Every structure is written in structure tokens, then in C-alpha cells.
Structure 1
Amino acid sequence: MNRDPEPEPEIEPELDLDLAVVGGGAAAVALLDALATGTTGTTGATGSTAPVAPGTIRVFEPSPHLWRGRPYGPDLDAVRVNVPPGISSIRHGDTGHYTDWLGERAADHIDRLLGLPVVPRALYGEYLTHTAEKAVAALAEQGRRVEVVPARVTGVTRHGSRLVLRTADNRAYAATQVALCVGTGSPPDPYGLAGTPGHIADPYPLASTLDQVPAESDVAVIGSGLTAVDVVVALAARGHRGRITLLSRTGVLPYVWQRPVDRRPRHLTAERVTELHAARGTVTLDALVDLLRAELTDAEGDFEALAAELRATTTTDPARRLRQQLDAVDDPRIGRRMLQSAAHAVGPYAWRLLTEADRARLRRHLRTANAVASPMVPVNASVLMRLLDSGQLTVTRGDVRGGLRGGLRQRVSAGPGRVINAVNPPPQSIPAAARHLVASLVDTGLGALHPAGGLVPADPRVHVVGDLAGGGSFIASSIPGIAAQASRTAQALRTPLS
């Protein structure tokens, strides 16, 4: 029997609508702040690059935790931000923005080994909320009204000279430009555990999910990255007494943050990469390694020692390597610090200039690259070390499916134990909640899927901020990277469309 077609939703009549921001997390906060302050993509100064045209900005976010995104909602105090305040600013070019906001509260959260504050993620979420509210007020003074629509956008189509966004509640909104700030979404389910008794598909917020975990139960955590570290540290903070097993193909734990040193790079910089590209017409991975080598030579560092440490990442026993990392928090050698900083400050730009062969070489070392670029804070590393020493925590390397089949899955399903999914989606993956939206952009020619993942805008009215941006680095975006993207997008939004 034929069904009557659903009625076309009516477009909201406000024709002054200028910008639609899809997503209300950290990327959206960075974009609104950049629009409100005039932050530039080059100097990071606040000023008069170009006035923001009058009109309305609509932010579409169905989550009750507006401005916080998935990572920074209310949670346990043991769930901490994994980076020091100096590189946590959501305002591009203003490294003191977050530190100034934190103020005297920083003293309550000092990581003793790092010598810097490491705050709960919920507190960082308060910072994002404060920044967004200040930006909304500033934009209002400039004639831009910001309105929040608590609905999920399911599609974008053309409607004359404007774009039309459709939401899950079958409403439609017109805009002249659209910025996608959809974040990374929830964890994937690579081992098909959805619906299995005792399986926790998404660990966040840990304050509620860990209520499902009996204190004496065996817990299997799938993964060994930063999310897995959060799970283990949160279990320990709640006094968990059962065994905890990290199941990981590589068994690689994140590296551990070292105390910062006051040294700026002189060779491994975006400026030098630009010079190489101009002079040679290309940038190779070997040339980037030479820049790192020159950096270490200037600082009397040991390049070969750094290279040996990196090569041993996937072969050294996890507990032994973690102990070495904790012992090296005060190590004065700058090699790892320089490499880690360059991964975020230079990496996304250099990545786009590399040949596909060099990109493939880097992808073969993805786990090592992620471990270096996204380390854990020493206070969390100390908790893991204590649990490893006591035998309560173990790290199992190898076939995760085999580990689940080999009795663990049955033991967890039959008893009070739990399997917690701590697998993070890869960069440029499309969040499940945004699949229909991305598909509509591709179908209407407003965007195109990048061969390596993510979305590439095919229309100057469409912008992407965050990991969804196609062609980006194989390492997940950092807060500074998202802030830089937001700043460039704000500049583009100020440029009149022809």
C-alpha cells in the first residue's frame, strides 16, 4: 500500500539568519569566541580584522550539556583534563586565556610530579561554558543574536541562494552559511558487543556508568589509550577491588607528560616547513626528521636515543615502559617534548604537504604516534603504576577477539563482571548522529567525502571545524588545533561571499 509522503516542513520566516552552527561543544565555543573577539588565524590578537555582519547565529545542539560536548560534561573529579593549562586555551593565540580564568582554583589541582594544575574535566567544561556565554553577550552587543536550537540536524539542502537545515523534529531553518562542529561522537563497536550482558558501550560519564560495576567484579576494558586510563583511574577512585584487564592489540599505554621546558623550536616550525615546500616543491618525512635532528643538535640532545625509545614503544612491557616514563618526568632532554609539540603545532599543516607514501609510513606507526602526541598526566600514570605493581591491573596484548572468546566474555556475562568499551573513533570518522547530515551534504554537492575519511566542503558556504574535516592529520585534533581551525573559519565567515 502506498504511503502518503510526509509534508514538507515550513522554513522559519526569519530572513536575517546568517550562520548555522551544527554542534554545541568545544569547537562551537572556539568559533563563537573567535567571531566575538576578532581573533586572527595568524597573530592570535584580538582586534579589528573585520566586523561581524549583523544577523542571527543559530547553534543546533540536542545534548543537555550545552558548550561542554561529550568529554567535558559533569563527571567524577578523577576524570581529569589530560593536558596542562598552558595548551588548553580555547582562544587561538591566547595561551593565558584558560589560565587566567582558572585563577586561584589552579592551586587545588596541582599534579605533584608535573608541577602544574591538572583539573577535572567538568571544571574545564565550566570554562567552556563561561567562554561561550561571554562570546554570546559580546556578539549581541555587535548586533548578532545567538539562539540555541535543542535539536539534531539531519540534513542540509539548497533553497535558492540560501541553505536549509532540517532537524529531527521535522522543522527547517534557513541560513546563508553553515559550520559543522559535530565532534567525534560515541565509541565504535569493533567487536560486535552491543547488547551483550555486562557490556558498557560508552564509558562517559563515568559517574553514572561505573554505578553499574560492582566493586568486587572483574572488569575488562577494551583499549589502552586515554579513555582506558580514565576508566581505570575512576575505578580506583571509587575503591574498586576486583581485577581490571586492559585488552589491547598493541598493549601500548600513552606516554607520560614531562615538565615543560622554556625552549621554543627554531627548526621544526611551520615557517621552516613552508620554506622547504617553496624551495623543493614538496615536503618529505625525511626532511621533517632532519628538522627534528637539527633541533636536538642545537640543544645538545640525543636523536638516536629518542629514535630508539620510539622504536621500542610497541615491544617494551607496558609496566616497565610506564615506570620508565614516570622516572623521566623531570628528564631535561627535550627530544620527546619537541616531537610532541610539533605533532600538534606543525603536524596538521605538514601532513597536507606530504606524499601519500610518507603518510602511509606514518600510519604504520599510528599507535606510537598517538601515545607520544597524547600523553597521560603523571597523577594518572602513578595510579596505573600502583595498580600494575599490586597485580590488580594487567595489560593483555594481542588478539582482542581471542581474549574475549577465551573465557573472559563468558565469565563477565555469567557473573557480575563488566566489559567497558574504551575504543576511540579514529580522526575524520563520521559520528553516528551526523551520518544523515553528512550524506545529505554529499548528495546535494555541498560536500564530498575525503578518500582518507572526513568531509571536504564543496561550497564556500559550508565550513568544518574539528576532526570531521577531511584531509586532516592521522592524529586526533587537540584543543589548540581546534582553536586554530575555528579562528581560520571565523576569518572565512567574515569574508563576503561573491
Structure 2
Amino acid sequence: MHRRVAIIGGGAAAAALLGELLERQPPQALHLDWYTGGGTPARGVAYGTRSDRHLLNVRAASMGMFAGKPQGFLDFLQREDPAIAGTDFLPRRRYGDYLEAEVARALALGKAQGHDVQIVPFAADAVVPEVDGVTVFRNEEGRRVDAAVLALGALPPQPLAGVSAAALGSGRYVVDPWPLLAAPPAAAPDHVAVIGLGLTAVDVLLELAARWPGTRFTAISRHGRLPEPHLRAAALPSGDSAELIEAMQDAPEVRRWLHLLREAIAQEEDWRSVIDSLRPHTPALWATLSIEQRARFQRHARWAWERARHRMPPPVHESLAALERAGRLHRLRGHLQDADVDADSLRLTLRPYGGGTPQVLQAGLVVQSAGMDFDVTRTPHPLMRQLVVNRHVLPDPLGLGCQATPQGRLLHEGGTWPRLFAIGSLLRGTLWESTAMPEIRQQARAVADQLLAG
């Protein structure tokens, strides 16, 4: 049993692990150091928003913090309002409230049972793993622990290639949208360009369109398509898709998989049931793909999978459709070639999808919302840079976090670290589906099992 454990990260993944450890009532007292990195512990970036326009893209009944209590979030809400249904898509701030309440409950339980939990409201500066333990540094002070878990969440976004230093220095090109959404300037620009069309871009468009009712928006992405919407009524996957899963495992090749999926979808009333039936099997299926096939998926199929798998709540879909009907939102297909200052605006040069003459666009503000960054070799995150530079971890060859076992143990050039773990986004390359709460809570349980088994 590892009694002294460092949990590094301040978001939902770290909170889920903390809760799992303290809920178990282990036979010996635990000493937990939780490096939250500042901000409100448990909320992180994902659930730090206070806007009611930012909705969960998973129904309330599936968002419990613990693997053993998947309806925990719904139970929390219904204590205040019994009218809330498990099929509802609720504001993310309410999920942040739930996480905070669960952490407070876990801390109180831990204290009553004699566990020592130190909440460190700073980031860890360095981590040095060894076979028999891990040393975690804050400033120049090191603290030796039996094991450490990296639960860092999203890595800091970086400017896209082609964005000039002048554009970044002007303040008109926003790399991280969340500070902007928390406190948009009062002076509204006439035209805003949003780079990306995933769920983060959806949040940006909804919030800024409501704050700035006279502003026009242009959203730019490779295919110019928004995420698909959920059905209004919840629907269970039809059958267990055993035949489809077996066929995919027998032929781990992306082109063959796409053919099998099209065949399966043709036999269903709605394609969503097929996609949802794959969710429990995704890590095992991903593990069958070679590096070459994973790279092919990244190039050719990832965009389609993401918009089908990570869907919008129906009210969000309707709000965006209303913006388009009103002429306030226009979508373009293309890639950002460069962005530079042009008088009191930014000039964007877009390369059309499939080739053609570049298009020039002027915008008073550009918001980059191109999705989560998983590339630990390029990240400015100080701790990940230290781990990569010192070769304590191995980057995923496709820029999808770190190499690890399916159980979350991180790898290095000599093998597997016995006492350094990760959960959440750093396991993207190992498990593929590794950023949503239903997957993260399973990872938290698995890592807690290993920590307490020692």
C-alpha cells in the first residue's frame, strides 16, 4: 500500500482520484499532497465557467464523479430540485458545484478517519520518479512520496503556426478563450473570427453572441461543420454490437472500420446508437491499431469521429442555428495560413480546403478554439517540459500525451515506472477516449486500486 501519495492537478480528474482514495477506508492512514495549481480545487478549466449558456454535453444521469455511483450528480441536483431529470443537459457550473461538494465531503470523511490531506494551492515545479518513490518539488523544496499521479487536464493552448508576434502582441488574437469568456471587454468588435468548430468554439460563439448582440461571427475549420446534436430523447444503444466489435478487432485497419461502421449504421434507425455502443470498447479497439493506422485515423477520420462522438445538447444546436438564420454566424472551410496586424484589425489569410486561391478576411478579434492540446513535446507547461527534457516520460509518437500502460503507469526508456501514474488527457495516446468524466472516473478507480494495493 502506498501511504504517501502526491496528486498533481486541480481539476475533476484529480478530485475523482482524491475521492476514490478517501472513500475506500484503507486500513492505514493516508498522507495525500494535492497540488491544485491555484484556482478553485476540483473545477479546473472545464467546470470553472459561471455561464449558464455553457452546458454539459452528457446527460445528468451519466455524470457521477465515482465509478460506483454514476448517478451521483443527478442525486446531488435532485436534493435541491426533484424536477430535474436524468436526461437533462445542465450548466457546467452546476457540475462544478457538485465536484466542490464531493471534495468537501471526502475531505471531512478523510479527516474523521485520520487521513492527512494537504491542499497545496500551487503547481508542482518538478517531479523526479525513481523505482522506490517519487520526489515532488515546489520551488527548491522537495517532498518524497511513495507514488505520484499526474492529473493535469488540458495542456495550455499554443498559437497556431502562421500567427505573427505582432498579432499576438496586439491583444486581438486570443489563444486561450476562457479568460476572455469570463470577462469580455465592454467594447464589442463588429466582426469576430473563431478558429475551430468543436465544442470549445461552440461555447465561444454562444457566450460572445449573447454578450455582443451586434457582432458578426465567422467560424473557420477544415470541414466547416459543427458537432452533431444529441437526440432530444435519450436512446440506449441497440444490442451490444458484439458482431461489429469482433469484426473491427479482426481487421484493425481504419478504412475497413469505416466500411463496417457504415454497414452497421445502415441497419439502425439512428447512427448515434452505433457510435454510443462503441464507447465501452474504444480503448481496446484503439490498442489493436498500429502506429501507422492511428496516424491515418488522425489525418482522415478524427474530425468525423469527434463531431459524431462529442455532440451538442439540442438547445445549443438550436441557438447556433438561430445565429446562422439571423446572418450573424457564417462558417468557412479552410486552414489558417497566417494572421497579422492590419491597422486596427487583424488580417487572416485562409487556405481553402482542397486547395485554391487563398482568401483574406479582416476581423476585429480572433479567438483560437482549435481543441485540446496533447503534445507534451511542444507544450509550455513547466512540469511537462521538465519531465520530457529529463526523459522521465516518453511522449506519444503522435503527440497524444505520454506513453503509458492501459492501467495508467507511465513509461520511460527503461520500462514502466512502478510509482508514477497519469489519468485523463495524458493517456489520450494509450486509450484514445480519455477526457470525458465517464472514462476519467474509471481511470481514477483503477489507479486508486493500484495505489492501495501497493
Q: Which TM-score applies when normalising by structure 2?
A: 0.82
2:15 & 2:453 partners in 1: Cα distance?
20
Q: 1:176 aligns with which of 138, 143, 146?
A: 146
1:153 equivalent to 2:124? Answer yes
Contact between 1:427 and 1:477, CA under 8 Å: does it hold in 2?
no
SS in 2 for 1:448: coil
- Residue 309 (structure 1) aligns with: none
Structure 1, residues 129-180: CA drift from partner, whole Å, max 9, x if none?
Answer: 111222222233343211111121121125794321112x332222110000
The number of aligned residues is: 423
Q: 1:60 to 1:460 in 2, by over 3 A?
A: same
1:171 & 1:449 partners in 2: Cα distance?
27
1:290 & 1:348 partners in 2: Cα distance?
20
- Residue 448 (structure 1) aligns with: 394
Contact between 2:56 and 2:92, CA under 8 Å: does it hold in 1?
yes
SS in 2 for 1:204: helix
The offset of 1:473, in angstroms, is 4.3
Map of 1:30-429 to 2, 5 A cutoff?
Answer: 30-38=16-24, 51=26, 53-103=28-78, 116-157=87-128, 161-167=132-138, 169-191=139-161, 192=163, 193-210=167-184, 212=185, 214-215=187-188, 217-258=190-231, 259-263=233-237, 265-268=239-242, 283=252, 296=264, 302-303=266-267, 333-342=269-278, 344-363=279-298, 364-401=300-337, 409-410=346-347, 417-427=364-374, 429=376
The offset of 1:482, in angstroms, is 1.0
Q: 1:388 to 1:109 in 2, by over 3 A?
A: farther
SS in 1 for 2:451: helix
Q: Which moved more, 1:186-195 or 1:59-68?
A: 186-195
2:84 & 2:168 partners in 1: Cα distance?
37
1:54 & 1:36 partners in 2: Cα distance?
10
Q: 1:385 to 1:159 in 2, by over 3 A?
A: closer
The offset of 1:290, in angstroms, is 8.3
One-letter code aligned to 2:368:
N
Q: 1:422 to 1:71 in 2, by over 3 A?
A: same
The offset of 1:75, in angstroms, is 2.1
2:375 & 2:435 partners in 1: Cα distance?
10
Q: 1:403 to 1:166 in 2, by over 3 A?
A: closer
One-letter code aligned to 1:370:
E
Structure 1, residues 281-304: CA drift from partner, whole Å, max 9, x if none?
Answer: x8555786687578x5xxxx624x
Q: Which moved more, 1:282-291 or 1:88-97?
A: 282-291
2:58 & 2:5 partners in 1: Cα distance?
32
One-letter code aligned to 1:467:
S
The offset of 1:367, in angstroms, is 0.8
1:186 & 1:180 partners in 2: Cα distance?
15
Contact between 1:22 and 1:181, CA under 8 Å: does it hold in 2?
yes
One-letter code aligned to 1:461:
R
- Residue 5 (structure 1) aligns with: none
One-letter code aligned to 2:206:
V
1:98 & 1:117 partners in 2: Cα distance?
12
The offset of 1:402, in angstroms, is 5.9
The offset of 1:257, in angstroms, is 0.8
Structure 1, residues 77-115: CA drift from partner, whole Å, max 9, x if none?
Answer: 2122222112222211432111111116567888xxxx9
One-letter code aligned to 1:22:
I
The offset of 1:37, in angstroms, is 3.0
Q: 1:430 to 1:484 in 2, by over 3 A?
A: farther
The offset of 1:254, in angstroms, is 0.5
Q: 1:348 to 1:159 in 2, by over 3 A?
A: closer
Structure 1, residues 343-398: CA drift from partner, whole Å, max 9, x if none?
Answer: x3221221012233432342211111110111111111111101111111101111
- Residue 358 (structure 2) aligns with: none
The offset of 1:405, in angstroms, is 8.7
Q: Which TM-score applies when normalising by structure 1?
A: 0.75
Greater strand percent: which structure?
2
1:267 & 1:223 partners in 2: Cα distance?
32
SS in 2 for 1:19: strand
Contact between 1:347 and 1:473, CA under 8 Å: does it hold in 2?
yes
Contact between 1:70 and 1:185, CA under 8 Å: does it hold in 2?
no
Contact between 1:233 and 1:384, CA under 8 Å: does it hold in 2?
yes
- Residue 310 (structure 1) aligns with: none
SS in 1 for 2:429: coil
Contact between 1:452 and 1:471, CA under 8 Å: does it hold in 2?
yes
Q: 1:468 to 1:283 in 2, by over 3 A?
A: same
2:225 & 2:333 partners in 1: Cα distance?
8
The offset of 1:429, in angstroms, is 4.6
1:397 & 1:293 partners in 2: Cα distance?
24
Contact between 1:217 and 1:243, CA under 8 Å: does it hold in 2?
yes
1:124 & 1:162 partners in 2: Cα distance?
35
The offset of 1:403, in angstroms, is 8.0
Structure 1, residues 328-355: CA drift from partner, whole Å, max 9, x if none?
Answer: xxxxx2422331452x322122101223
One-letter code aligned to 1:19:
V
The offset of 1:483, in angstroms, is 1.0
1:104 & 1:238 partners in 2: Cα distance?
32
Q: 1:31 to 1:131 in 2, by over 3 A?
A: same
Contact between 1:352 and 1:471, CA under 8 Å: does it hold in 2?
no
One-letter code aligned to 2:417:
D
SS in 1 for 2:101: helix
1:21 equivalent to 2:18? Answer no
One-letter code aligned to 1:389:
R
Map of 1:424-435 to 2, 5 A cutoff?
Answer: 424-427=371-374, 429=376, 432=379, 434=381
Unaligned regions of 5+ residues in structure 1, if any? 1-15, 39-47, 307-332
Contact between 1:200 and 1:209, CA under 8 Å: does it hold in 2?
no
Q: 1:469 aligns with which of 416, 419, 427?
A: 427
2:282 & 2:14 partners in 1: Cα distance?
23
One-letter code aligned to 1:417:
G
